[in-house]
Amino acid sequence: MTPEKTFYITTPIYYVNDVPHLGHAYTTVAADTVARYRRLEGKKVFFLTGTDEHGQKVERAARQQGEAPQELADRVVERFKGLWQRLEISNDYFIRTTEAHHKGAVQHFFNQVYEKGDIYLGDYEDWYCTPCETFWTETQLVQGNCPDCGRSVEKLKEKSYFFRMSRYQEALLSFYAQNPHFVQPQARYNEIIRFVQGGLRDLSISRTSFRWGIPVPRDSQHVIYVWFDALANYISAAGYPEDPQQLESLWPANIHLIGKDILRFHAVYWPTFLMSAGLPLPHQIFSHGWWTVEGRKMSKSLQNVVDPNRLLDQYGVDPIRYYLLREVAFGLDGDFSHSTLIHRVNSDLANDLGNLLSRTLSMAHRYSQGQVPPGYPASGCPAAEVSEPLRAAAERALNEVRRSMEELAFHKALAGIWELVGAANKFIDEKAPWNLAKDPEQRDRLDGVLYSTLEALRQTATLLSPFLPGIARQMEEQLGIHPGDGERPTLGEATRWGGMKAGKALGKPEPLFPRLTAERIAEIRSSFRIED
């Protein structure tokens, strides 16, 4: 019997020439949510992230800061790792392209492609900016000048190794045709097909104009092109080449999550490298949109780059995760603004979810001595009245989460969970336990109503756990259940109605999300120097 294939999901590996920003946090939180969701389903998961540490950008950034590229990488990598910890990212491995193992894997990969006859030495000719020591293509130039420094460029030639990408045009097109879900969303898939139909040129995969990279085997004048090096991280972290067994259990990856700007590298270059090396292709490349900030492109020159650490300081981790996943449809562009973030926190988190938990728990403490009351059928109250409405709402939420997670529609999954939260709030309003409590004859009904609401909350916590792991834990603590991250029952088990055990002690009610008051909002605005 072949062992069960592990669900393998990746983020891009981030350049270390700059510190992490909102865009990096976005991809990583999304990938983390998928990884947690698949684990909750009971699957074995391998979730990979890491850093892209070679290439001219990194070499240049290091020079500007007066340090060696490795020193820069060692310093900046800690910023990424620290941020992932704060964002509760549950990656199984963190790859750095300067690791000895990765370097060996890339050279091995290069050799495999070389032996296939797909690499040759030729002349690379393009527009060169001498002060920046960078080649640019015609289309990258800005008014004929260097897009980085604005100075003039000249046509220059250097020796380079080329990959025969042109050979793979037909094979790639037929692969796309056979795998209509290879690139998501659909509009991006169509763009990629059009691009490849337009013709594939051979690709320059080595450079001699700088040193910071992995040497080409047998020709150390050249370093390997940073994208050839970086893309190979997805297999080198999976055991390529020395551990074929591990590689087989992980590769091909189920999903490469990336931003739309790097789709061509993933959906065109990467598959052709793999075809040449005789390795299977990943199942899916999912490309998400870009965030603008308060309506403008995020850029250093506009000084509006959003530092996720500062957001975490002001709002905390779960509100940020919630906002990123709920505010825009994954795949589309979105606009970050403090006002929409504050609105989400106050309305969805504090009002809807926070209130539901605190009012339910305080009633259970008041009317049921802080214990889970008997539910249906023990309470003797008809199911149609006390458990059916919320049981059905919980089932609908589960189905919506399942459906939406297949297409990475995080916003829809969360909206589905909020339908359940809304149904539970409405249920309490309608059943008015405070009135039932006045009449001893209504004891059964009161128990049944409280039980169902507690059970709906338990299921809400389970459904939320991939998205908001911290909140799920806090909710479970207050509900008196402690599944612990590792031994959590699977999604199917945890969403069977009736998991709350009558007689069990509930925890202490604590506010989940304090509402952001006018005073706090003013503080936040001044800390981000937002003018009215």
If one asks whether residue 259 binds ligand MSP (CB under 6 A), the answer comes out as yes
Read off the amino acid at residue 155. Answer: K
Alpha helices in 383-508 (DSSP H): 383-386, 388-406, 410-431, 433-436, 443-464, 469-478, 491-494
Q: Which is nearer to ligand MSP, 76 or 172 (CB)?
A: 76
Q: Which is nearer to ligand MSP, 12 or 252 (CB)?
A: 12
* List 7, 8, 24, 387, residue binding ligand MSP (CB under 6 A): 24
Q: Contact at 8 Å (CB) between 15 and 52?
A: yes
If one asks whether residue 27 binds ligand MSP (CB under 6 A), the answer comes out as yes
If one asks whether residue 236 binds ligand MSP (CB under 6 A), the answer comes out as no
Q: Which is nearer to ligand MSP, 15 or 330 (CB)?
A: 15
Q: Contact at 8 Å (CB) between 398 and 420?
A: no
Q: What torsion do the CA atoms of 325, 326, 328, 331 make, to the nearest 10 degrees?
A: 40
Task: Give the residue ranges of the annotated binding site for Zn(2+).
Answer: 129, 132, 146, 149
Identify which of 391, 465, 466 has the alpha carbon closest to the alpha carbon of residue 423: 391
Q: How far is the CB of 12 from ligand MSP (least distance, A)?
A: 4
Task: Give the residue ranges of the annotated binding site.
Answer: 129, 132, 146, 149
189 exposure class (CB count in 10 Å sphere: 0-12, 13-18, 19+): buried
Stretch that binds ligand MSP, among 127-135, 199-207, 259-267, 498-506 (CB under 6 A): 259-267
Report the distance separating Cα 352 and Cα 287, nearest Å: 31
If one asks whether residue 327 binds ligand MSP (CB under 6 A), the answer comes out as no
If one asks whether residue 13 binds ligand MSP (CB under 6 A), the answer comes out as yes
3-state helix/strand/coil string of 494-515: HCCCCCCCCCCECCCCCCCCCC
Q: Where in 36-55 is the site for ligand MSP (CB under 6 A)? A: 52
If one asks whether residue 291 binds ligand MSP (CB under 6 A), the answer comes out as yes
Q: How far is the CB of 235 from ligand MSP (least distance, A)?
A: 11
Q: How far is the CB of 29 from ligand MSP (least distance, A)?
A: 11
Strand partners, 293: 296, 336
* List 6, 23, 212, 446, residue binding ligand MSP (CB under 6 A): 23
Q: Which is nearer to ligand MSP, 75 or 159 (CB)?
A: 75
Stretch that binds ligand MSP, among 13-21, 35-43, 309-317, 482-490 (CB under 6 A): 13-21
Stretch that binds ligand MSP, among 120-128, 163-171, 229-237, 275-283 (CB under 6 A): 229-237
If one asks whether residue 19 binds ligand MSP (CB under 6 A), the answer comes out as no
Report the distance separating Cα 389 and Cα 357, nearest Å: 18
Q: How far is the CB of 312 from ligand MSP (least distance, A)?
A: 17
Q: Contact at 8 Å (CB) between 271 and 113?
A: no
Q: Contact at 8 Å (CB) between 113 and 240?
A: no
If one asks whether residue 329 binds ligand MSP (CB under 6 A), the answer comes out as no
If one asks whether residue 262 binds ligand MSP (CB under 6 A), the answer comes out as yes
If one asks whether residue 173 binds ligand MSP (CB under 6 A), the answer comes out as no
Q: Which is nearer to ligand MSP, 240 or 513 (CB)?
A: 240
Q: Contact at 8 Å (CB) between 325 and 37?
A: no
Report the distance separating Cα 199 and Cα 372, nearest Å: 66
* List 123, 170, 261, 439, residue binding ligand MSP (CB under 6 A): 261
Q: Which is nearer to ligand MSP, 17 or 474 (CB)?
A: 17
CA distances from 410 to 239, 255, 400, 467 (A): 31, 15, 10, 9
If one asks whether residue 258 binds ligand MSP (CB under 6 A), the answer comes out as yes
Stretch that binds ligand MSP, among 37-45, 190-198, 200-208, 257-265 (CB under 6 A): 257-265
Q: In Å, how far from its chain's centre is CA 391?
A: 31
Stretch that binds ligand MSP, among 23-31, 403-411, 458-466, 497-505 (CB under 6 A): 23-31
Of all residues in the shown chain, the one whose CB is closest to ligand MSP is 259
**How many residues sit in the footprint of ligand MSP (CB under 6 A)?**
19
If one asks whether residue 109 binds ligand MSP (CB under 6 A), the answer comes out as no
Q: Which is nearer to ligand MSP, 31 or 449 (CB)?
A: 31
If one asks whether residue 125 binds ligand MSP (CB under 6 A), the answer comes out as no
Using the Cα atoms of residue 416, residue 420, residue 423 and residue 429 in order, give the sign of their dihedral: negative
Q: Contact at 8 Å (CB) between 139 and 126?
A: no
Report the distance separating Cα 394 and Cα 387, nearest Å: 11
If one asks whether residue 114 binds ligand MSP (CB under 6 A), the answer comes out as no
Q: What is 329-368 written as a DSSP string?
A: -BTB-EEE-HHHHHHHIIIIIIIIIIHHHHHHHHHHHHHS
Two structure tokens written together for 508:
């202490």
Read off the amino acid at residue 249. Answer: S
Binding-site ranges for ligand MSP (CB under 6 A): 12-15, 23-24, 26-27, 52, 230-231, 233, 258-259, 261-262, 290-291, 298
